[in-house]
Amino acid sequence: MTTRRRVGVLALQGDFREHLAALRACEVEGVPVRLAADLEPVDALILPGGESTTMARLMEPELKTAIRERTAAGMPVMGTCAGMILMARDVQDGRADQEPLKLMDMTVRRNAYGRQIDSFEAEVESAAIGGAGPAVFIRAPQVTERATDVRELASHAGQPVAVKQGNRLALAFHPELTPDRRWHQYFLSFDGESR
């Protein structure tokens, strides 16, 4: 198992502070990423929860390009909730000007759970974290289409809620909002060559 030394967290909007705290709890240095240059010293990246339309708008084009290039070269990336939306190739119910990063071969639907149950907590089980753990869903997206190598690591009510494609991990929920650090630990175990 490789331990990452510096993990970037996209810090333009959303709950990046919670991810930085989670990394500290894992004894890993977290680096806020706002500009393309911030990505240079990091060897993995987290895209946080928040509002994907806002984050997509605030990212400078150079940062989008740098994230795409580094990811293609093997940098591990984890997206949570809005971060999952940013990672998708296509977004349903997005805004017209919302261009995702297209890091994973999947389509996701924003705010897919509807008003009645737009936020909830559930136990989600996965071999990736060695059992069941708490998962907080807030206006969560759903994966509606995915390539065969986008593997389901966990599901809830018949829907995939954790998916992995090589060095890329996307979670529909917020592991940063619970004290359980196993999803972060799992992500930190990715090595740059696992693409």
Q: Which chain residues interact with ligand GLN by CB under 6 A?
A: 49-52, 81-82, 85, 110-111, 138-139
| DSSP structure class, residue 50 | S
- Shortest Å distance, C-beta 147 to ligand GLN: 22
- Shortest Å distance, C-beta 67 to ligand GLN: 17
> Nearer Cβ to ligand GLN, position 111 or 189?
111
Nearest-5° angle of CA 87, CA 29, CA 72?
Answer: 30
- Shortest Å distance, C-beta 85 to ligand GLN: 5
How far apart, in whole angstroms, are the C-alpha atoms of residue 29 and residue 143?
Answer: 31
Q: Are 53 and 95 in contact (CB under 8 A)?
A: yes
How far apart, in whole angstroms, are the C-alpha atoms of residue 76 and residue 117?
Answer: 32
> Nearer Cβ to ligand GLN, position 85 or 129?
85
Q: Are 54 and 17 in contact (CB under 8 A)?
A: no
- Shortest Å distance, C-beta 174 to ligand GLN: 6
Nearest-5° angle of CA 74, CA 181, CA 179?
Answer: 145
> Nearer Cβ to ligand GLN, position 17 or 195?
17
How far apart, in whole angstroms, are the C-alpha atoms of residue 57 and residue 181?
Answer: 30
Residues acting as catalytic residues: 81, 174, 176
| Burial bucket for residue 86 (CB in 10 Å: 0-12, 13-18, 19+) | buried
> Nearer Cβ to ligand GLN, position 66 or 91?
91
Tokens of 102: 């297209």
